[in-house]
C-alpha cells in the first residue's frame, strides 16, 4: 500500500509468521524473529491484544460486566447494556476495553496496564535484538462519536511523533492555521489496520517511508492524545451531562477579572425560562447588570438600606461591619443578575389561605427558574452565587433599577469565572431526605 505524506512515499504491510502469544512471551523477540528486516525509521504497529496476552492481562471473569466495572473510572454514557466509559488508562471507549473475544471461555482480556510503557519495552527489545531505531505504536479498535464504524487508534507510543502541531503555519492560500493539530499516531494506526484486519490473524504491521515521524527519544507517549477534561466539550453522554450539570453546580464566591460573555448569560436565561410555572404563565424576569456603574449604584443603595436596618435592630457598628462584608461576593463579581418574580396570571380567590398558596406556586416556579439559571451558568463554565439580599430591600432595588412596582426581586446572582477550584462538596445520603409511603 502506498500513499504520501509531505511528498514522501510510504509502504504498509502486515508481519506474517507470528506464533500465538502467551503470558510471559518476549514480544520484541517474537517480532524480531518474524520481521528481521526491520530498518531504522520504520514504525511498528502492534495490536494491543497480543501485548495484553504477553503481559498476562487475561483474567478469569464469569461475568464480563464485573470486569468492566473493575476497569471503569467514570461512566460517560449508558444505553441499555452498552456503556461508554473512561478506563484506568484514561481512554474513553466502549466496555472499558474489556474483550471477551480471542481468549479462552470464562476469561476476558484487559488492555495493557500502561500501553506507553509497553511500547517503550518493545522498542528497547527491538533495538537490542536487531540494532534498529524504530517507532512503536500499541493500537486498539475504537468507535467514534458521530461516525459509524470502527478504526484503530494509538493507545501506546514510543519514539513516534504522536501529533503534528500545525498551529502558527499557513494553508495553501496563506490563511493562518489556528486550531490544526494532526493526530499522526492515530493516522498510522488506522493505516496499519487496513492490512492487519480484525480477523486475519496478523496482529503486527510496519509502516516504512516516514522516518521523520520517528524520534530519538521515546517521547510523552499516546497519553498526549487524550484530551484533558477541561478542554473536552463532549465529556459526557446525555443523561450523565444533565446529572453532572446539576451536581457539579457549586456556589462560587471568588472570581477572576476575566470578563463575562453577556451571550453566555443570555443562554442561561433561555434555560431558566423553560422551568415549570402555574397557569401557563411566565413569572420570571432577569435584570442583567452589565456595567460597573449599575452594579455599584445598586450595591451602595442596598448597603445603606441594610446598615439602617441593622442599626434599627440595635446592632453594634462592629457587628454591622462584619455583616456588610458578607456582601462582598456581589461587589467583587464582574457581573450581576437580579431574578424577579412577576405574578401576572395569578388567580385571586378572596381568602388568605388560597391566595397565599397561589403566591407560593409562583415563588416555587421562580425558584425553579433560578435553579435552571444557575445550572446553565455552570454549563457555560461560569461560577455563580445566589444571594438573597435583594429580597430584604425590594423597594430600594426597584427604585435604583427603575423596575415596575409588581416586579419582586428574588435575590441576586453573582457571576464570573471561578478564581479556584471549589472545596469538595460534603457527602449527602439521599435516603436521609426521602420518606416512602
pLDDT digits (tens, 9 = 90+) for 6-26: 555 899 999 999 999 999 999
CA-only gyration radius of the chain, Å: 31
Say what the pLDDT of residue 109 is: 92
Report the mean per-residue pLDDT for the chain. Answer: 90
Bridge-partner residues for 60, per DSSP?
A: 107
Is the Cβ–Cβ distance between 95 and 63 less than 8 Å? Answer: no
pLDDT band at 72 (very low <50, low <70, confident <90, very high): very high
Say what the pLDDT of residue 185 is: 96
Burial of 110 (0-12, 13-18, 19+ CB in 10 A): buried
CATH superfamily membership of 2-57+112-231: CofE-like (3.30.1330.100)
Question: What mean pLDDT do residues 310-333 have?
Answer: 85
Separation CA 384–CA 336 (nearest Å): 9
Could you give the 3-state DSSP secondary structure of residue 99? strand
The residue whose grid cell reads 515521524 is 213
φ/ψ of 252, rounded to 5, equals -115, 125
Say what the pLDDT of residue 171 is: 67
% residues pLDDT > 90 (the chain): 66
Which of 131-140, 359-368, 401-410, 421-430 is predicted least confidently? 421-430
pLDDT band at 323 (very low <50, low <70, confident <90, very high): confident
Q: What share of the chain is helix, strand, coil (3-state, %, to 5)?
A: 40, 25, 40
Question: Which of the pair, 56 or 106, is modelled with greater confidence?
Answer: 56
Question: What mean pLDDT do residues 82-107 have?
Answer: 88
In degrees, to the nearest 5, what angle opens at C-alpha 258 toward C-alphas 381 and 375? 20
Q: Which helix (H) or strand (E) holds 363?
A: helix 352-379
Indicate whether 61 pLDDT > 90.
no
Secondary structure in 3-state letters for 257-321: CCCCCHHHHHHHHHHHCCCCCHHHCCCEEEEEECCHHHHHHHHHHHHHHHHHHHHHCCCCHHHHH
Indicate whether 5 pLDDT > 70.
no
Same fold, 2-57+112-231 and 249-433: no
Domain locations in the chain? Answer: 2-57+112-231, 249-433
Say what the pLDDT of residue 198 is: 60
Indicate whether 286 pLDDT > 80.
yes
Calculate the CA 201 to chain-centre distance. 36
Cβ-based neighbours of 323, under 8 Å, separated by 6 or more:
306, 310, 315
Say what the pLDDT of residue 8 is: 59
Nearest alpha carbon to residue 190 among 134, 147, 233: 147
Calculate the CA 306 to chain-centre distance. 42
Say what the pLDDT of residue 2 is: 46
pLDDT band at 389 (very low <50, low <70, confident <90, very high): confident
For residue 138 the three cell numbers come to: 500499541
For residue 251 the three cell numbers come to: 456556589
Bridge-partner residues for 288, per DSSP?
A: 337
Give the burial string for 386-399 (b: 16+ CB within 10 Å, else e): bbebbeebbebbbe
Question: What mean pLDDT do residues 199-227 have?
Answer: 92
Say what the pLDDT of residue 247 is: 80
In degrees, to the nearest 5, what angle opens at C-alpha 309 toward C-alphas 304 and 310? 100
Question: What mean pLDDT do residues 298-326 have?
Answer: 87
Say what the pLDDT of residue 128 is: 97
Are β-strands 43-47 and 135-144 bridged in parallel, bridged antiparallel, or unpaired? parallel
Say what the pLDDT of residue 32 is: 97
Bridge-partner residues for 207, per DSSP?
A: 12, 43
Highest CATH level, class, for 249-433:
alpha beta
Give the burial string for 327-363 (b: 16+ CB within 10 Å, else e): bebbbebbbbbbbbbbbeebeeeeeeeeeeebeebbe
Say what the pLDDT of residue 3 is: 46
Bridge-partner residues for 387, per DSSP?
A: 412
Calculate the CA 208 to chain-centre distance. 37
E-strand spans in 116-213? 135-144, 147-158, 164-165, 181-182, 204-208
Q: Which helix (H) or strand (E) holds 71?
A: helix 64-71
Maximal C-alpha separation, the chain:
95
Which of 45-59, 167-181, 245-259 is predicted least confidently? 167-181
Amino acid at each position: 500500500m502506498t500513499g504520501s505524506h509531505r511528498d514522501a512515499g510510504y509502504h504498509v504491510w502486515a508481519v506474517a509468521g507470528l506464533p500465538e502469544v502467551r503470558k510471559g512471551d518476549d514480544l520484541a523477540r517474537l517480532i524480531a524473529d518474524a520481521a528481521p528486516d526491520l530498518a531504522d525509521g520504520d514504525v511498528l504497529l502492534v495490536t494491543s491484544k497480543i501485548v495484553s496476552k504477553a503481559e498476562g492481562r487475561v483474567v478469569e471473569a464469569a461475568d464480563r460486566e464485573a470486569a468492566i466495572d473493575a476497569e471503569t473510572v467514570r461512566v460517560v454514557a449508558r444505553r441499555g447494556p452498552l456503556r461508554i466509559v473512561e478506563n484506568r488508562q484514561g481512554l474513553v471507549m466502549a466496555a472499558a476495553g474489556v474483550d471477551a473475544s480471542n481468549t479462552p471461555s470464562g476469561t476476558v482480556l484487559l488492555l495493557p496496564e500502561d500501553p506507553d510503557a509497553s511500547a517503550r519495552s518493545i522498542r528497547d527489545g527491538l533495538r537490542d535484538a536487531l540494532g534498529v531505531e524504530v517507532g512503536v505504536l500499541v493500537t486498539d479498535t475504537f468507535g467514534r462519536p458521530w461516525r459509524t464504524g470502527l478504526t484503530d487508534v494509538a493507545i501506546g507510543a514510543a519514539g513516534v511523533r504522536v501529533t503534528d502541531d500545525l498551529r502558527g503555519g499557513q494553508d495553501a492560500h496563506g490563511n493562518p492555521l489556528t486550531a490544526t493539530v494532526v493526530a499522526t499516531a492515530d493516522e498510522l494506526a488506522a493505516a496499519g489496520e487496513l492490512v492487519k484486519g480484525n480477523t486475519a490473524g496478523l496482529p503486527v504491521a510496519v509502516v516504512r517511508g516516514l522516518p521523520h515521524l520517528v524520534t530519538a527519544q521515546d517521547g510523552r507517549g499516546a497519553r498526549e492524545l487524550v484530551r484533558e477534561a477541561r478542554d473536552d466539550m463532549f465529556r459526557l453522554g446525555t443523561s450523565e451531562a444533565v446529572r453532572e450539570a446539576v451536581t457539579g453546580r457549586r456556589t462560587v464566591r471568588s472570581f477572576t477579572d476575566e470578563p463575562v460573555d453577556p451571550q453566555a448569560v443570555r443562554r442561561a436565561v433561555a434555560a431558566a425560562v423553560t422551568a415549570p410555572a402555574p397557569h401557563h404563565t411566565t413569572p420570571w424576569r432577569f435584570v442583567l447588570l452589565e456595567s460597573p456603574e449599575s452594579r455599584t449604584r445598586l450595591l451602595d443603595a442596598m448597603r445603606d438600606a441594610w446598615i439602617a436596618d441593622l442599626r434599627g435592630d440595635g446592632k453594634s457598628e462592629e457587628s454591622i461591619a462584619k455583616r456588610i462584608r458578607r456582601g462582598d461576593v456581589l461587589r467583587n463579581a464582574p457581573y450581576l443578575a437580579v431574578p424577579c418574580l412577576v405574578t401576572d396570571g395569578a388567580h385571586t380567590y378572596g381568602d388568605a389561605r388560597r391566595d397565599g398558596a397561589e403566591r407560593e406556586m409562583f415563588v416555587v416556579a421562580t425558584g425553579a427558574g433560578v435553579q435552571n439559571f444557575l445550572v446553565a451558568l455552570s454549563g457555560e463554565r461560569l461560577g455563580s452565587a445566589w444571594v438573597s439580599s435583594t429580597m430584604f430591600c425590594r423597594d430600594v432595588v426597584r427604585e435604583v433599577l427603575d423596575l415596575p412596582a409588581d416586579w419582586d426581586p428574588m435575590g441576586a446572582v453573582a457571576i464570573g469565572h471561578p478564581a479556584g477550584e471549589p472545596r469538595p462538596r460534603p457527602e449527602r445520603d439521599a435516603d436521609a431526605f426521602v420518606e416512602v409511603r
